Amino acid sequence: MRHLSSHPDAYGVFASQCAAGSQGSAKGCATVAIKDCLDIEGLVTRCGSRALADAAPAKAHSDVVANLIAAGCRILGKTKMHELAYGMTGINAFEGTPLNPHFPDRIPGGSSSGSAAAVAASLVDFAIGTDTGGSIRQPAICCGVIGFKPTFGRVSRKGALPVQSSLDCIGPFARTVGMIEQAMGAIDRTFQAEIFEGPLRLARLGMDGEIEPRMAEAMLAVRTDGDGAIKDIELPLLDAAFKAGMTIIARETLLANIALLERPELLGEDVRKRLEGARNATDADMAEAENVRVRFTADIDALLERFDVLMTPALPLPPPRLSEASDPAKVLTLTRYLRPFNLSGHPALVLPARTVDGLPSGIQLVAAKGADARLIAIARRLVEDNPIFQTKE
């Protein structure tokens, strides 16, 4: 592997650049960007933080990087991210914030900001991110690309930071469903693409007053072909699952990074405050969060015995402008529909769309655990049948 000095790119997505894997130009040699919380041999895994800037370079590739290279992919570099993967805006005062290519006045989303922006800017064929509470799916929608969170545990996290997580999944961003399939085949050797045939049974989350109406346009516009059916359903534990996910990520992120609080001046202000606030999560809070995890997971498992997929909006409100990113009211609820499925561990994919006034929006699709290939096949069919989605094969 050749290590190259980091240099500015048009959208500011790369934290460092390298040349790893296939160096040929043969057809099928996909170019890839890697979120900087995944080890690439010889490079420092900084996780977007000044506190880790002087860490020792990785001694080996993470499993996902090794698999990509074995599959013939060419890795171009490591992408910027929200510091320590603990934020939703993608804003990073230390490394700089990637520009959202299609919506430059809006946040790129987080925490996998650079990976989403790299794909949106067509700098790579696909990119790899991590998703602990929506950190692939939310920036995917912010930047207008597809993002996929696999079933929890499906893709190896060896060589990822944080080392331990009960929520985090590694997954791809791409501009087309076909490239999502190709990416999954590269990072998970057990993955086999499928074709979905027959009528589609689709559960659609009923709306409440917590979503801006225009952010539900894409979901309400979806139609199934032939004998397919869409039925509105309720998820009584959705908001409890969101809160439980927030509790668990707070405790787990604090445990992973508690040593960094010994030098708080090296941390960004937003992340430092969140880590300090995470100390307030009690053992009783954790016990209640785990109780909600069990109950919510059971509800989703039961629902997906009756339906092929669950469909929700992707976001409850438009991604905030960069000037609004410090406003909690504009940020805290962005992952309302996404975070609960980190808690439950189900695979989830987002398809981008635009509101009637041109803002980033879309839908989320959730399938049974282990049905990753089927979920992607259903997404392909919905893209083919519904012109509202921006992706084209």
Looking up tokens 């990822």 gives 160
The answer to whether the CB of 201 falls within 8 A of the CB of 307 is: yes
The residues that bridge with 204 in the sheet, in sequence order, are 232, 311
Q: Distance between CA 81 and CA 91 in Å, rounded?
A: 8
Q: Distance between CA 272 and CA 275 in Å, rounded?
A: 5
Contacts 24+ apart (CB under 8 A), 268-277: 268/49, 268/50, 268/83, 268/92, 268/93, 268/94, 269/93, 270/83, 270/87, 270/91, 270/326, 271/49, 271/82, 271/83, 271/84, 271/86, 271/87, 274/86, 274/87, 274/250, 275/86, 277/250
The answer to whether the CB of 248 falls within 8 A of the CB of 278 is: no
Q: Distance between CA 66 and CA 296 in Å, rounded?
A: 35
The answer to whether the CB of 35 falls within 8 A of the CB of 68 is: no
Angstrom CA distances, 11 to 35, 96, 322, stand at 15, 10, 15
The answer to whether the CB of 114 falls within 8 A of the CB of 77 is: no
Angstrom CA distances, 112 to 76, 82, 99, 359, stand at 16, 7, 13, 20
**Alpha carbon distance, N-terminus to C-terminus of the chain:** 32
Kindly state the tokens that stand for 235: 């998820």
The answer to whether the CB of 361 falls within 8 A of the CB of 215 is: yes
What is the dihedral sign for C-alpha 80, 84, 86, 91?
Answer: negative
The residues that bridge with 131 in the sheet, in sequence order, are 169
Nearest to 219 by CA among 204, 208, 234: 204
Task: Please list the active-site residues.
Answer: 35, 111, 135
